[in-house]
Amino acid sequence: MTSFVRNQWYVAAYGSEIGRTLFSRTVCSEPLLLWRTEAGAVTAMADRCVHRRFPLSQQPSRLDGDQVVCGYHGFTYGADGACVSVPGQQRIPRTARLATYPVVEQDSFVWVWIGEPEGADAELIPRAPWLDRPGWSVVSGMEPLAARYGLLVDNLLDLSHETYLHGGYIGTPEVAETPITTEVDEAAGIVRVSRHMEDAACPPFYAESTGIEGRITRWQDIEYHAPCLYLLHSRIAPVGTPPPRSDGSDPGAFHVEVVYAITPETDGSTHDFWAVARDFALEDEKVTDFLRENNRTVVLQDVVALEVLEKAVASEPPGRQELSINIDTGGLAARRILGRLREEGERRPEPATR
Ligand code: FES
Ligand SMILES: [Fe+2]
């Protein structure tokens, strides 16, 4: 029994990470081998040779055209996972096949389906179109987090912590002071948390990047698509700027789309993918560099805090009580949805090929 939600799409990598070399990343405790075929398609398969379990991502294993050659005794696999040659004999055992994973490359991410392949419907993958669209500039990264993924979900759904943990970067007093509204779409597995600050201090993250000097209207509209994708629609405008028009245009404001992909690595570790897309100062390298450095610093502040928290939680007996208040409404809704998805994911039978 693990805490993972199976039969779901997860971000395994940025598309830019995967090329013509063997790349490995563990998702939901499944070690994946990722590589790009000569035609450019990303493939994902088990990163363990069927012979003696040597990790195929490790030297001297290698890619030879569209085949993976195990570096231990030479078992060779095609892009479909089937073994095409073994040493010392003509006959290839029928079971000599690597499990493969459905893959979709979209919005700069490589999504993999963890579960029974027949359930992998690409239409279910939530979108983050700003990451790969004209009119937006993007900085991004991934930080390893030695904490269970649920702690990162809690963290991102309750941004009141910005005031305390990220003061001097993105936090100001108004974030913690302003009440939230929460909407939950149980069926779709989406939690929305909004906090609209009509007259707030402008934190350095936005003052430096937008050039705004006075106070701001600051809207934070979160959309969490359980289990993996988190979107923060951030709107920043000088106080007094008209609100968005009915057609959705909003020429007086600056828009930042903060995207996280929260991918469990193991029960106690998480891949913390983060990206910041902006619709202003598109070509300004100084703004790009500033946002990359500043956001990474903020992400690392969370990483440090969550790793401390993981140690504390892991050392306690199970069932230790927490105390929740209004700010936790979104996080509690997310936990409820994840619990339901986990149960649904476990009820399905294991596929015969795994
Ligand atoms: S472990 Fe891969 S060929 Fe033996
Ligand atoms: Fe944070």
Asked whether 70 lines ligand 1 (CB < 6 A), one says: yes
pLDDT tier at 2, thresholds 50, 70, 90: low
- Minimum-distance ligand 1 atom for the alpha carbon of 53: 1
- Minimum-distance ligand 1 atom for the alpha carbon of 70: 2
pLDDT tier at 352, thresholds 50, 70, 90: very low
pLDDT tier at 128, thresholds 50, 70, 90: very high
Say yes or no: 49 and 154 in one domain: no
Say yes or no: 185 and 104 in one domain: no
| Residues 281-293 as b or e (16 or more Cβ within 10 Å = b) | beeeeebbebbee
Residue 347 has pLDDT above 80, yes or no: no
Ligand 1 pocket, mutate which of 56, 59, 62, 72 (most atoms under 8 A from CB): 72
Ligand 1 pocket, mutate which of 45, 47, 54 (most atoms under 8 A from CB): 54
* pLDDT at position 354: 47
What's the mean per-residue pLDDT of the chain?
96
Write out pLDDT tens, residues 133-161: 999 999 999 999 999 999 999 999 999 99
CATH code at 198?
3.90.380.10
Report how far residue 171's alpha carbon sits from residue 169's, in angstroms, rounded to the nearest whole number.
6
Say yes or no: 175 and 37 in one domain: no
Percent of the chain with pLDDT over 90: 95
Domain endpoint, select from 123, 151, 185: 123
CB under 5 Å of ion ligand 2: residues = 302
| Structural domain boundaries, residue 54 | 8-123
Is residue 352, in this structure, part of any structural domain at all? no
Residue 353 has pLDDT above 90, yes or no: no
Write out pLDDT tens, residues 169-211: 999 999 999 999 999 999 999 999 999 999 999 999 999 999 9
Ranges of beta strands (E only) in the chain are: 8-14, 23-27, 30-36, 42-46, 62-64, 67-69, 76-78, 83-85, 100-101, 103-106, 109-114, 137-145, 181-185, 190-200, 216-225, 229-238, 254-266, 269-278
Report how far residue 165's alpha carbon sits from residue 32's, in angstroms, rounded to the nearest whole number.
34
Is residue 2, in this structure, part of any structural domain at all? no
Report how far residue 237's alpha carbon sits from residue 217's, in angstroms, rounded to the nearest whole number.
5
CB-based contact 182:327 (threshold 8 Å): no
Say yes or no: 273 and 336 in one domain: yes
Whole-structure pTM value: 0.96
Ligand 1 pocket, mutate which of 47, 52, 56 (most atoms under 8 A from CB): 52
pLDDT tier at 1, thresholds 50, 70, 90: very low
- Minimum-distance ligand 1 atom for the alpha carbon of 61: 2
